[in-house]
């Protein structure tokens, strides 16, 4: 695995980890807001649309990094076959 591939794998893992932690934190916030603070679910979800869009953008970034990782591995494999 090349140095670029290792960096892409680390960045991809980090973005997916951030996305997963954000989803879990968001679900815990929803539970606390609805059951403990007695707010309506519609208001809680309506106020957190920007948060969910940010998590979606981080998830998309993770997928882009994953595709870049795969392309870098395929390029390394193809360059090794031609030598």
Confirm whether 62 is domain-assigned: yes
Domain membership flag for residue 83? no
The C-alpha angle 22, 24, 30, rounded to 5 degrees, equals 100
Q: Is residue 20 part of a domain?
A: yes
Residue 27 lies in a domain: yes
79 pLDDT higher than 80: no
Between 21 and 82, the higher pLDDT residue: 21
Residue with tokens 């960045």: 11
> For 62, phi and psi rounded to 5 degrees?
-60, -40
pLDDT tens-place string over residues 23-51: 889 888 888 888 888 888 788 778 788 88
Q: Would the pTM of this model clear 0.85, i.e. be above it?
A: no
Domain count, the chain: 1
With respect to residue 68, please indicate whether it lies within any of the assigned structural domains: yes
34 is a domain residue: yes
- Quote the mean pLDDT of the chain: 84
Dihedral, CA of residue 68, residue 22, residue 41 and residue 33, to nearest 10: -170
Range of the domain at 14: 3-78
């Amino acid at each position: 695995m090349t140095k670029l591939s290792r960096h892409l794998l680390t960045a991809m893992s980090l973005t997916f980890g951030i996305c997963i932690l954000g989803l879990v934190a968001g679900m815990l916030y929803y539970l606390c807001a609805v059951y403990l603070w007695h707010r309506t679910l519609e208001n809680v979800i309506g106020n957190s649309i920007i948060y969910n869009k940010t998590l979606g953008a981080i998830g998309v970034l993770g997928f882009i990094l994953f595709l870049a990782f795969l392309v870098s591995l395929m390029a390394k494999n193809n360059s090794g076959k031609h030598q």
